[in-house]
Amino acid sequence: MGRSTRELRQLSPPVLSIVLLLFASTTTSLGDPCHLPSQKNVVFVDMPFKLSVENHHEMYLLCRLVSDTIQVGNESIRIDSSNLRFKRLDLAGGYLNTTSPFVKEINKSAIAFVKNDTEVDDSGPYTCVAEAEGRYFPGCTAEVEIGTRPQKVLNFSCIVTAFLNMTCSWTNPDNGKVLTNYTIEVVRGLNMFNRWVSCPANHTTENSCTWTTGSDPYFEKYALSFMFRVNGTNSLGHESWNYMFDHNAILKLTPVTHLNQSNLTERGVTITWKQPAEAQHRNVPYGNVSPEKVIYQITLRRQGAEYKMTETEGPEQISYDNLLPNKEYTVEIRCHMEKATRFDLYSDPAILSFKTLKDKPDGPPVIYQSGFRSKLYTDSRTVTLVFTEVDRDNWNDDTFNYIIQVCPRFSNSDGCKNHTVSHSMLDIEDLSTLTQYEVTIWSNNSIGTANRTSSMTIFSQAEVLSSPQDISVVISEDSASITWQVPDSLRHARDNGELETVLYWCKSFIEDVCNGTAYSKVLPGSRTSDVIKVRQPRDYIYGLGLTTMKTGHSSGVVWSKCVSQAGAYVGLVRELRADADTDTSIKVHWAKMCSSQRKYIGGYQVEYCHIKREDVSMLVNSNDECQRHTLTASVNSSGFNSGSTTSSSSCQKQNFTLEDNEAQYTIEGLTKGESYRIVVRVMDKMSGRYTPDSAAACATANGGMRVIMVVGIGVGCSVGLVVFVIALYMFGKWIHRKVDAAKEVKATLPPPLQKDGGAGYSDWVARVNGVNLNGHGGYLDQHNGDVTILSDFPRRGSHSCLDKLIIEKAPVVTVETPAKLVNGDPRVSANLNREPISLEEPLTGVLFSSNQGVLPRSQPYDASNHDHSNSSPMPPYTQLGLSHLAAGANQVNGHGPHNHSGITGYSQLSVISDHPSPEPIAPPDVIPGMNTTGHHGGGHDDDDDASSGSLEDDNTTDRSPLHSPRRSPASTSTVTRAGGYVSADRAMVTPMPHTTSASVPVSNGYVPVQRANQ
């Protein structure tokens, strides 16, 4: 077209007019004429509706006047080519006239838009208008298409699905703006009679075609190969291309069938399946064609691990024997013909999931000799173990823990203690600083413990090595660089290659406490620096441990306190805490900077951001949630923020300075009751920049209670406590009176006693007079010093009436004192010469008489006095089974040159069952109702007892009970029941040897009364 229009310009005007009319008729033959004579206010021009131009060729667009007048109402305006203008409608810009380099005047009635080297971007709608009398009158519009002849299609491929259908598809190439149509044909028939058949009309798209066994034309399922032809046509030309495929190379099978598992164990399984049915069609010979092979692709997957892929031709099974116990696995099996190499020709996967059985852990955690920290106390130490946990994949169970046994070295297993923990930290308390301990660690789950153990030795504190010095950490975006110095005392071991260094790092926000998983790395002792790759390195703490391989002595783990950002001289603020101070302030604290960095601190900056009310409980109550949320939210150009919990508009900053040893600051001017997310930064003097944000802290400015409220609560509590004590005291006195009244009213005597004295009473008085007048333990009258009979004893507590009744009416019990002493100890035997007394009877005591006139009584031990026959009498009465029966002379306190420590106050009279127990009864530590001085409730001891663990009495003046002895509860008493009665029988006591032991004396079955030492 461009060459023809150039030739037009060389013709004479009459001939040109004729040619232009002919040209207009040919260019508008594709549609209706552009000029509309019936319209007013328009210019009648002629332009093609569509113009196709090959890329990088000349575009020549002609605009010709059909009429030289424009009808405007009743007026006609005459125009020529000087009034014509071009404009591209899809771009901004003005109208182009002949002054433009792209517009040429052809004659007085036509202009042309000419561009020599066109591009695809020149495509678009072009209009030709007329300008007259300051107005533009619209004309015609032409759509210009710039592109290429049909290009070869891309990614042409065909797939035959299970011998049921065949689909071919492709990607249309870029032909510019020229509309291009592609069609496909396939050869049908034998070589001599083949023909091209088109795609079924109802299975055709602009870039695909499908043949089925029922379509017209149909899919030929038994063909060995296929020949295809793709045709491309557009306004610039026509092209075609041929493609040849083997049938098996484009065949896609259906998934395998009968996928099953068998022989499932802790670490193995067998997978079986069957090939798809249509694969049989190609597995048998066909003419001179060999059987086609089916390939199986098996993929084994486990969550969190890399998959394992295997390909096999058969048989249809595979076995695994190296799986992990208690893990979920997924097996995916795809199949394809051997010639099918494209992945889209592989069958859809058949999927099977299974879980291996549980098993014992594979092994123990890793612990090095330096994996401990010590905290010293006055006479003990607490040792914290640090070890690398077993990986989650090696638990072999859903439940898992560690059993840690700590045993004193060079001793039997009696001193071992077991601990169970589920993490990599354990505090072992109350260890001696002088003792070595063996530590053994097992991995344990519900199946059992691992077959192997980890062990280490905790040496005595004096054997702990010097710590590594000057540990500094410089962190970058994804790594941490650690440097340190070996102490002088270990340089000899380092130079001889006997020193081992272990580097530790652990996720933690506290400077020297590992509260996450510990990681470790062993380095040669000669190294003094290392770099480790770690994600978010500022969230970790870093430490070192030194160990001499020759002796096994170690320094333990020493965590670094000097952590700084790369390129900075000061480190981050660590261990930030925030506490409410007042209603309008919050106090923040953090760990002090290490001394080597303090001189570079130029100040601090705190930034606090208001937390939305709906997020307060989540952030303030959870440190992890407070860390996860960003400090500020970016605001986009539309004015919408990113939806963060805090926003830049709600954040404020305060700059401040502190003294060298200070590490806290109070944020003032907050809103009462509002919550804030706070970070602190440090100004680096050398760089003039602030360090990155510290770990965040979230708190609420709620102040706490007012001073007046605190004072009010304190006064109220004090008054309430006083009232409560008074009420308790009054209630106790009321109970005391009730108990006294009940005892006096309900005290009855057993039938053997006579109401008005009698022989029993006279006999008892005679016996008592004999006891009191023989010079042993007589009771003196308080006024004249004369010996007073027992019936005249002063009132003792609230039981004087009861005592008098007992004195007047009491049974007689004979106590025989053997004449011969064994090992210096009197053996006392009790013989009850009356019927057994029922426990249900209210008798509170029995009286004893001696056929020698005196009863044995405890005396201070005198090593020089070997005559133990001179014993003081017993107290005037005793309660059966729980009384202050006297101990032998060698069973008293440890006075004398041998300083014997014995247990005083136990009874040599035992209360046992009529039917002896087959096994001895274990002695109780403390008899109920007896206070720490060995007396019954209410007794008071003014003696200066020794504090060596055994009680020592220096005289016997306070041995008489001030209150009536109480009956011990049956659950704790040594009394055993036999038919509802208690019987006293003869019992021989084994003498106590003269040793410093305070153990309970051994007897032949009865339980002695023992006083508790305090």
Topology of domain 2-147 in CATH is: Immunoglobulin-like (2.60.40)
DSSP assignment of 87-99 equals EETTS----B-TT
| pLDDT greater than 50 at residue 824 | no
The predicted-structure confidence for 664-685, as pLDDT tens digits, reads as follows 999 999 999 899 999 999 998 8
pLDDT of residue 592: 81
Question: 154-246 architecture in CATH?
Answer: Sandwich (2.60)
The predicted-structure confidence for 271-282, as pLDDT tens digits, reads as follows 999 989 887 765
In this structure, whether the domain defined by 469-560 belongs to CATH 2.60.40.10 is answered with yes
The predicted-structure confidence for 705-738, as pLDDT tens digits, reads as follows 555 566 678 788 888 889 999 998 898 888 888 8
- Which CATH code, of 2.20.25.90, 3.30.470.20, 2.40.110.10, 2.60.40.10, is assigned to 253-355? 2.60.40.10
Q: Three-state SS across 582-608? A: ECCEEEEECCCCCHHHHCCEEEEEEEE
C-alpha–C-alpha distance, residues 122 and 111, integer Å: 19
Mean pLDDT of 425-429: 88
pLDDT of residue 191: 66
Mean pLDDT of 545-556: 93
Confidence bin at 303 (pLDDT 50/70/90): confident
Within 10 A of 389 (CB to CB), how many other CB atoms are there? 20
pLDDT of residue 70: 86
Read off the DSSP letter of residue 278.
G
Residue 713 phi, psi dihedral angles, 5° rounding: -65, -40
Alpha helices in 470-559 (DSSP H): 491-495
End-to-end CA distance of the chain, in Å? Answer: 124
Question: Going by DSSP bridges, is the β-strand pair 585-589/664-667 parallel, antiparallel, or unpaired?
Answer: antiparallel
Mean pLDDT of 762-783: 47
Confidence bin at 751 (pLDDT 50/70/90): very low
Topology of domain 577-633+643-704 in CATH is: Immunoglobulin-like (2.60.40)
| pLDDT greater than 80 at residue 499 | yes
Confidence bin at 326 (pLDDT 50/70/90): very high
The predicted-structure confidence for 79-116, as pLDDT tens digits, reads as follows 999 999 999 999 988 899 999 999 999 999 999 999 99
C-alpha–C-alpha distance, residues 674 and 620, integer Å: 11
Helix axes of 800-808 and 707-746: crossing angle, nearest 10 degrees: 20
pLDDT of residue 520: 93
- How does the average pLDDT of the chain come out, rounded? 73
Max avg pLDDT among 187-196, 253-262, 314-323, 926-935? 253-262
Confidence bin at 40 (pLDDT 50/70/90): low
The predicted-structure confidence for 880-903, as pLDDT tens digits, reads as follows 333 333 333 444 343 444 444 443
pLDDT of residue 363: 93
Mean pLDDT of 776-802: 42
Question: 372-463 architecture in CATH?
Answer: Sandwich (2.60)
Mean pLDDT of 367-390: 92
Q: Pick the closest to residue 570 from 696, 667, 660 (CA basis).
A: 660
C-alpha–C-alpha distance, residues 252 and 341, integer Å: 11
| pLDDT greater than 80 at residue 475 | yes
Within 10 A of 793 (CB to CB), how many other CB atoms are there? 15
C-alpha–C-alpha distance, residues 878 and 880, integer Å: 6
| pLDDT greater than 60 at residue 394 | yes
The predicted-structure confidence for 344-376, as pLDDT tens digits, reads as follows 999 999 999 999 999 999 999 999 999 999 999
Angle at 686 between CA 685 and CA 692, to 5 degrees: 70
Entry pTM: 0.51
Residue 673 identity? G
pLDDT of residue 643: 43
